[in-house]
Amino acid sequence: MVGFSAMNLALGRGKLYLRHVRIIKAKMKVKTQSKKVNKAWLNDHVNDPYVILAKREGYRARAAYKLKEIDEAFQLIKPGHVVVDLGSSPGAWSQYVRRKLSPKTAVGGGAAVGELNGSIIAIDLLPMEPIEGVVFFQGDFCEQGMLDKLATELGGRLADVVVSDMAPNLSGIHSADAARVEGLVELAVDFCQSHLKPQGALVVKLFHGGAYDPLVKLFKQSFHTVKPMKPKASRDKSTETFLVGLGLKSVAKTQQ
């Protein structure tokens, strides 16, 4: 009897051991797969022509080329302009704008330092390494206190261009994420209604899906001309896209 139950116990342990091995193997498999995905992402990233170009040209992120393409298509940013950069960290868009507002005599037709012909005001939740001449506020664009700081910095001036690359941390819950994106774009449009020149422009990032149609509608209600644009620098796999609004339908509340 004792021998039989000992054998049963050993068999039971054996089964348990086999189950354990299977679980570990399954876990290892998942780990290997995710490593493969990370490797593929890293490979894509390292070989990405815009990543290579950003490194060569001293931009903090490949995102600079998205704004560059949009700007070149619509001729938005010109020397002397007041530009507001919403969701600016790590700073590639501000760097691009800074170069556009620098004298054309500087190396490369614009400079990262030195004379700046115009103003750049930037805001982000995250810190941003300083860029010479760029006034940066760290905080939430959704908070009234931050809106007040931006207004104070503008000092009654109206912006020529407002650009927003703001993207919320995605939760993966589609409806919640769509609502967050929608909220940020609505706030950017609202900001323009108080602080953008009548002939000014707003560029926003948004995503295909949930909030896209209502946001196009909002843009059409707010701007004379509305152009969607997916720059080549925006990855095909990404649902991100951009809307450009030109010329406010209602005149900004702040007086020049």
Catalytic site positions: 205
Q: How far is the CB of 192 from ligand SAM (least distance, A)?
A: 16
Name the burial class of residue 26, with classes exposed (0-12), middle (13-18) and buried (19+) by CB atoms within 10 angstroms of its CB: exposed
Do residues 51 and 219 lie in contact, with contact meaning Cβ atoms separated by under 8 Å? no
* 3 or 145: CB nearest ligand SAM: 145
Q: Determine if 124 is a binding residue for ligand SAM (CB under 6 A).
A: yes
Name the burial class of residue 45, with classes exposed (0-12), middle (13-18) and buried (19+) by CB atoms within 10 angstroms of its CB: exposed
Q: How far apart are CA 256 and CA 252, in angstroms?
A: 10
Q: Determine if 129 is a binding residue for ligand SAM (CB under 6 A).
A: no
61, 106, 216, 229: residue in contact with ligand SAM (rule CB under 6 A): 61
Q: Which helix (H) or strand (E) holds 188?
A: helix 174-195
Stretch that binds ligand SAM, among 10-18, 43-51, 122-130, 244-252 (CB under 6 A): 122-130
List 196's β-bridge partners, or say none. 159
Q: How far apart are CA 225 and CA 92, in angstroms?
A: 26
Q: How far apart are CA 98 and CA 256, in angstroms?
A: 23
Stretch that binds ligand SAM, among 5-13, 119-127, 152-160, 207-215 (CB under 6 A): 119-127
Stretch that binds ligand SAM, among 45-53, 139-147, 148-156, 218-226 (CB under 6 A): 139-147
Binding residues with ligand SAM: total (CB under 6 A): 22
Q: Determine if 91 is a binding residue for ligand SAM (CB under 6 A).
A: yes
Q: How far apart are CA 46 and CA 42, in angstroms?
A: 6
Stretch that binds ligand SAM, among 7-15, 24-32, 117-125, 223-231 (CB under 6 A): 117-125
Strands 240-248 and 223-229, how do they pair?
Answer: antiparallel
Q: How far is the CB of 128 from ligand SAM (least distance, A)?
A: 8
Q: Which helix (H) or strand (E) holds 99?
A: helix 92-100
Residue showing the smallest CB distance to ligand SAM in the complex: 87
Q: Determine if 126 is a binding residue for ligand SAM (CB under 6 A).
A: yes
Q: Determine if 88 is a binding residue for ligand SAM (CB under 6 A).
A: yes
Residues 8-37 that bind ligand SAM (CB under 6 A): none
Which residues contact ligand SAM by CB under 6 A? 60-61, 63-64, 87-93, 123-126, 140-142, 165-168
